C-alpha cells in the first residue's frame, strides 16, 4: 500500500484529534501515506452518496443510503450516551407546537435530522444549512428553532438561547441504546483486508493523541480557529470515547437500531 489513500473527515476537534497521528506520520503505518480532505459533515454525506472518496467520515443518518457501496469501519466514529443533538430556540416553545414552526437543521442527511424526525414526525417546515449557521439562524429570527450539534452545544446558552429538547436523550429513552452520530466508511472497491489494518491504525492514532492530552496539536487547533481551547477539549472529551476505539456489540446494535429507524421513517 504505497500509493497515498485519500481520507475525508471534518475539521471538528474530535475528527482532527482522532486522525492527527495517522495522517501526519506520527505513528508507524508501514510507509502508507494519506491525502486529507477536510469538509463539513453534510458535504461529506453528499460526497459519500456519490462514492467520491475511498475512506470518509459520515453521519450515521446517511449510512443506510451508502452501505451498498461502502463498508463500515469499527474504529474512528462518534457514538455514545449524552452526545446527541439539541433542539434550541430564542425562548421556550411548547413541544406540541414544534410541527408548526420553522426549524433550522444541519443537513438533510445528518443524524441530527433523523433524530429530529423521530421526535417530531409531523414537522415539515425545515431549512437545511451548515451546522455552524444554525445558532445565527435562530438568533436572527430566520428560524423559530434549530437543531445544534458539535461545539454549538457548548456555546448556545452564552448566546441567550434555550434548550427545548435533548434529542439524544429522547432517542436513548425511546430506543434504549446510545446515539450513533458519525462513522468511518471504506469503499467496497478497496480490499476487505484493509479494514482491520485501518482500524488498528485509527486506534493507534487515538491512543497517540490521548497520550499527549491535554496538549492539543497544531493540526487540531488550526482547524478549529474560532474555538477556544476549552471548547475544543470539551468537544474531544464528549465525542472521543470507548466507541471511537471500537463499536463493540453495543455500538453495532445502536447502528442496527438506527438503520431500522431510518427505514421506518422513510416508509412513513
**Residue 174 annotated as lining a ligand binding site:** no
Q: What is the DSSP string of 1-50?
A: --S-EEEEE-SSHHHHHHHHHHHTT-S--TT--EEEEE--HHHHHHHHHH
- Is 27 known to sit in a ligand binding site? no
* Residue 112 assigned as binding residue: yes
Ligand-binding site membership of 218 (annotated): no
Of the residues 99, 113, 150, 235, which is catalytic?
Answer: 150
SS (H, E, C) 47-101: HHHHCCCCEEEEEHHHHHHHCCCEEECCCCCEEECCCCCEEEECCCCCHHHHHHC
Q: Which residues fall within 8 angstroms of residue 217, CB to CB, at 6 or more apart?
A: 20, 24, 209
103 among annotated binding-site residues: no
Return left, alpha or beta for 52; rule: phi > 0 is left, psi -120 to 50 is alpha, else beta: alpha
Q: Catalytic: 235?
A: no
Task: Tell me the C-alpha distance between 26 and 73, whole Å.
Answer: 21
Catalytic site positions? 150
Q: Which residues are annotated as a binding site for substrate?
A: 57-59, 111-112
Binding annotation: 57-59, 111-112
Amino acid at each position: 500500500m504505497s500509493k497515498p489513500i485519500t481520507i475525508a473527515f471534518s475539521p471538528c476537534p474530535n475528527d482532527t484529534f482522532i486522525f492527527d497521528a495517522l495522517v501526519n506520520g506520527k505513528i508507524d503505518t508501514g510507509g502508507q501515506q494519506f491525502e486529507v480532505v477536510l469538509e463539513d459533515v453534510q458535504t461529506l454525506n453528499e460526497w459519500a452518496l456519490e462514492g467520491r472518496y475511498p475512506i470518509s467520515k459520515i453521519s450515521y443518518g446517511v449510512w443506510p443510503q451508502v452501505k451498498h457501496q461502502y463498508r463500515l469501519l469499527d474504529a474512528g466514529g462518534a457514538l455514545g450516551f449524552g452526545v446527541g443533538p439539541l433542539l434550541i430556540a430564542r425562548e421556550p416553545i411548547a413541544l406540541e407546537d414544534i410541527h408548526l414552526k420553522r426549524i433550522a437543521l444541519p443537513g438533510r442527511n445528518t443524524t441530527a435530522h433523523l433524530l429530529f424526525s423521530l421526535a417530531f414526525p409531523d414537522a415539515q417546515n425545515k431549512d437545511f444549512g451548515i451546522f455552524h449557521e444554525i445558532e445565527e439562524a435562530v438568533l436572527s429570527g430566520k428560524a423559530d428553532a434549530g437543531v445544534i450539534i458539535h461545539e454549538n452545544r457548548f456555546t448556545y446558552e452564552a448566546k441567550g438561547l434555550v434548550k427545548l429538547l435533548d434529542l439524544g436523550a429522547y432517542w436513548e429513552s425511546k430506543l434504549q441504546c446510545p446515539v450513533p452520530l458519525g462513522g468511518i466508511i471504506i469503499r467496497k472497491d478497496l480490499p476487505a483486508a484493509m479494514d482491520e489494518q485501518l482500524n488498528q491504525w485509527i486506534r493507534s492514532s487515538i491512543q497517540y493523541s490521548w497520550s499527549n492530552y491535554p496538549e492539543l496539536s497544531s493540526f487540531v487547533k488550526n482547524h478549529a480557529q474560532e474555538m477556544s481551547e476549552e471548547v475544543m477539549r470539551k468537544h474531544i472529551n464528549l465525542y472521543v470515547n470507548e466507541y471511537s476505539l471500537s463499536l463493540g456489540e453495543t455500538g453495532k446494535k445502536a447502528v442496527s437500531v438506527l438503520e431500522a429507524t431510518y427505514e421506518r421513517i422513510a416508509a412513513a
